[in-house]
Chain A
Amino acid sequence: MKTSTLKAAPKANGNSGAESSDSAATGTTLLVGLDWGTNTSCLMAKPLGSDSVRLREQIPTVVGYVPENVLEGVIPNNASVLFGRDAQKYRLHLNVVRPMQGGVIHDLPAATLFAEHLQSLLPEGSTEVRAVIGMPASSDLASRENIRAAVQGIFTKVIFVPEPFLAALGCRDESRLSEPDYKDPVLNSLYIDIGAGSTDVCLVQGHYPTVEDQLSAPFAGDAVDQIILDGALATYPDCGLTLNRVREIKEKHSFVLAEDAATPAIATVMVGGKPCKLDVTRQIGAGCEALLQKVFEMTRELITRADPDSVGELLQDVIVTGGGSLIKGFGVALQTKLLEEGFENVRVTVLGENYKDYVARGALKVASQAKDRHWQSLIG
């Protein structure tokens, strides 16, 4: 059971003049890679100078406040706040909030509590904790200021890096670069990251994506949820569906290929206290199809921006990641649409269930190689 364990902020040890990656005094510094996602966060940690990852955890990004009128003993340890899976498990007794929306902080107090929870998961004994935190490609300065405020006193030093950069780094297996049959995923690829709040498409052609190499749209998983909810409420006006319930149903039944619609998506909801089965196959199909169309349009536009000489190879390596990549049939459907559009020899790869690891893994790589001048100290 994880509750809101509050710890004193680790203090800087004052050796900031040295380059961290070649500093001798590395024993008490912990490096953290954090993908602070709208739905799920991924946390990795290892000591500075070590190759072994000491913590790898995925945590649902939810905070559950326990109301005052809850009977004693109902909530484990009579905690006042629960996080992650515990908050989901006891959600009926809690006021559950999601600190993030669209990949950026929406509720700063809840985000601060969540950050404290993340701190409680870290291995103990470090005097300094340095975190590289992924930010959505479309996030603005105000979003970064909010994250900085939320982790003040939690981490000693931070670096913010756009998530597409971290995903590209995280996908790469440096230990295999010398193998002749290893295809380096950062030499000429097109990455599609479908999150909850935004969809990012970027070209990775041996260098980090520049302004011209990226497209971002505020249309992703949350927008799909809304389409499904609107459609369901139009068909079943009194069904009492909520966005949270829609999200659960979508995660179980989402699809984009027509043949997958043969398996109906039946959702059980409580109407007037009684369980009621609803067929939401059509609504889910409409929401997922809208996302597919948006991703297709963005992908097509970015392909036209690429150097014409690189496109042939680029189309062989279209990589879909993020929660949206888990929609059944998404990769095949996108590949089909691109082929129908006239692009040749397209191959779309879906990174799968462990997609969350890539950003955090990339963040940890950045943390290992960052110099002291890159780290922003947080006072507090």
Chain B
Amino acid sequence: MPSPLTKSAPALEPAAGSAKPQFLWNEIVRWTLEACILRKEGREAQVSELLQDRLPGLIRNWSGACGLPTETCKQNLRALFRRIQESVETGYIHRRLIVAEVCANLATQPAGPSIPAGERGPVRLRRRVPIDDVSGMLDAVAEAELETRAEAILPMRRAALAMTSLFSGEPASLAVLTA
């Protein structure tokens, strides 16, 4: 569901009106990846918010700023969406297999593993929650804490971040070449 803040404060739309294609492309990558992960986590309300409120504006602005023909923009975006979806699917299959393996191993040990020092990083939000939505913020903090604990054992997010940089830059650099 769209947040009241987003509705009442259109100036807060990320990068709305920005003329920086690289920035916009990175934002598209970031939020598409987030939407795919959220969908895998079953959080459809947040997925809908991203798909209906956030991504369309970013895509519109990027298409207008990148200097590529409309059809090329569409192709780039379709390719991006497909690759991100495939990567998230693959990542989740790997995670299932690894978690099953780790759990099976833990079951045979007398005590659970302690989180190694240096791996217990700060809890930080990985998605945007409007200030008005205190309940949503607390959910996000709890998710981030859970994710930090999981990350200490299975560094999936680090892999996802590497994936983001993999997708960044291609069409934007193409735009530079075209220009």
Tell whether, in the assembled complex, residue B123 and residue A366 are in contact, meaning their CB atoms are under 8 Å apart: no
Which residues of chain B come closer than 8 Å to A162, judged between CB atoms?
Answer: 122-124, 141
Interfacial residues of chain A within 326-340, with CB under 8 A of chain B in the complex: none
B179 at the interface (CB under 8 A from A): no
A144 to B145, alpha carbons, bound, how many Å? 10
Tell whether, in the assembled complex, residue A161 and residue B148 are in contact, meaning their CB atoms are under 8 Å apart: no
Tell whether, in the assembled complex, residue B131 and residue A186 are in contact, meaning their CB atoms are under 8 Å apart: yes
Tell whether, in the assembled complex, residue B135 and residue A370 are in contact, meaning their CB atoms are under 8 Å apart: yes
With A161-B141, A206-B131, A208-B140 known as contacts, the answer to whether A187 contacts B122 (CB < 8 A) is: no
Tell whether, in the assembled complex, residue A141 and residue B134 are in contact, meaning their CB atoms are under 8 Å apart: no
Which residues of chain A come closer than 8 Å to B83, judged between CB atoms?
Answer: none
Which residues of chain B come closer than 8 Å to A370, judged between CB atoms?
Answer: 134-135, 138
A309 at the interface (CB under 8 A from B): yes
Which residues of chain B come closer than 8 Å to A188, judged between CB atoms?
Answer: 11-12
Which residues of chain B come closer than 8 Å to A255, judged between CB atoms?
Answer: none
Q: Which of A144, A307, A365 contacts B14 (CB 8 A)?
A: A307
A366 to B134, alpha carbons, bound, how many Å? 6
Tell whether, in the assembled complex, residue B15 and residue A142 are in contact, meaning their CB atoms are under 8 Å apart: no
Shortest distance between the CB of B141 and any CB in chain A (Å): 6
Interfacial residues of chain B within 5-26, with CB under 8 A of chain A in the complex: 5, 9, 11-12, 14-18, 20, 23
Bitwise, A201-226 to B at CB < 8 A (1) or not (0) is 00011111111001010000000000
- Interface size classification for chain A: 35 or more
Scoring A161, A207, A308 by chain B CB atoms within 10 A of each residue's CB, the highest score goes to A207
Tell whether, in the assembled complex, residue A307 and residue B23 are in contact, meaning their CB atoms are under 8 Å apart: yes
A181 to B123, alpha carbons, bound, how many Å? 36
Shortest distance between the CB of A283 and any CB in chain B (Å): 32
Which residues of chain B come closer than 8 Å to A168, judged between CB atoms?
Answer: 131
Which residues of chain B come closer than 8 Å to A165, judged between CB atoms?
Answer: 137, 141
Tell whether, in the assembled complex, residue B122 and residue A138 are in contact, meaning their CB atoms are under 8 Å apart: yes
Tell whether, in the assembled complex, residue A307 and residue B125 are in contact, meaning their CB atoms are under 8 Å apart: no
With A138-B122, A140-B121, A187-B12 known as contacts, the answer to whether A159 contacts B138 (CB < 8 A) is: yes
A204 to B129, alpha carbons, bound, how many Å? 11
Number of B residues, CB within 8 Å of A: 37
Tell whether, in the assembled complex, residue A204 and residue B131 are in contact, meaning their CB atoms are under 8 Å apart: yes
Report the tally of A-B residue pairs with Cβ distances under 8 A.
Answer: 99
Which residues of chain B come closer than 8 Å to A206, judged between CB atoms?
Answer: 5, 9, 12, 130-131
Question: Which residue on chain A has the smallest CB distance to residue B139?
Answer: A374
A141 to B120, alpha carbons, bound, how many Å? 6
Which residues of chain A come closer than 8 Å to B138, judged between CB atoms?
Answer: 159, 161, 366, 370-371, 374
Which residues of chain B come closer than 8 Å to A169, judged between CB atoms?
Answer: 131, 134
A158 to B8, alpha carbons, bound, how many Å? 32
Tell whether, in the assembled complex, residue A207 and residue B131 are in contact, meaning their CB atoms are under 8 Å apart: yes
Shortest distance between the CB of A24 and any CB in chain B (Å): 19
A141 to B131, alpha carbons, bound, how many Å? 24
Tell whether, in the assembled complex, residue B128 and residue A141 are in contact, meaning their CB atoms are under 8 Å apart: no
Which residues of chain A come closer than 8 Å to B20, judged between CB atoms?
Answer: 308
Tell whether, in the assembled complex, residue B122 and residue A208 are in contact, meaning their CB atoms are under 8 Å apart: no
A172 to B130, alpha carbons, bound, how many Å? 14
A204 to B169, alpha carbons, bound, how many Å? 27
Interfacial residues of chain A within 140-164, with CB under 8 A of chain B in the complex: 140-142, 144, 159-162
B126 at the interface (CB under 8 A from A): yes
A95 at the interface (CB under 8 A from B): no
Tell whether, in the assembled complex, residue B145 and residue A141 are in contact, meaning their CB atoms are under 8 Å apart: yes
B100 at the interface (CB under 8 A from A): no
B99 at the interface (CB under 8 A from A): no
A26 at the interface (CB under 8 A from B): no
Q: Which of A159, A211, A365 contacts B126 (CB 8 A)?
A: A211
Which residues of chain A come closer than 8 Å to B16, judged between CB atoms?
Answer: 309
Shortest distance between the CB of A141 and any CB in chain B (Å): 4
B115 at the interface (CB under 8 A from A): yes
A369 at the interface (CB under 8 A from B): yes
A139 at the interface (CB under 8 A from B): yes
Question: Which residue on chain A has the smallest CB distance to residue B148?
Answer: A141
Bitwise, A247-268 to B at CB < 8 A (1) or not (0) is 0000000000000000000000
Shortest distance between the CB of B162 and any CB in chain A (Å): 15
A138 to B148, alpha carbons, bound, how many Å? 13
Tell whether, in the assembled complex, residue A207 and residue B128 are in contact, meaning their CB atoms are under 8 Å apart: yes
Which residues of chain B come closer than 8 Å to A138, judged between CB atoms?
Answer: 122
Tell whether, in the assembled complex, residue A208 and residue B137 are in contact, meaning their CB atoms are under 8 Å apart: yes
Question: Which residue on chain A has the smallest CB distance to residue B144?
Answer: A211
Q: Which of B18, B128, B131, B139 contacts A210 (CB 8 A)?
A: B128
Known: A206-B5, A369-B135. 14 other contacts (CB 8 A): A140-B121, A141-B115, A144-B123, A169-B131, A208-B137, A210-B128, A211-B126, A216-B122, A307-B15, A308-B23, A366-B134, A366-B137, A369-B134, A370-B135
> Which residues of A line the B interface, CB within 8 A?
137-142, 144, 159-162, 165, 168-169, 172, 186-188, 204-211, 214, 216, 307-309, 365-366, 369-371, 374
Q: List 7 A-B contacts (CB under 8 A).
A: A141-B145, A161-B141, A187-B12, A188-B11, A216-B122, A365-B134, A374-B135
Closest 5 CB pairs of A and B: A206-B12, A140-B120, A207-B128, A369-B134, A141-B120
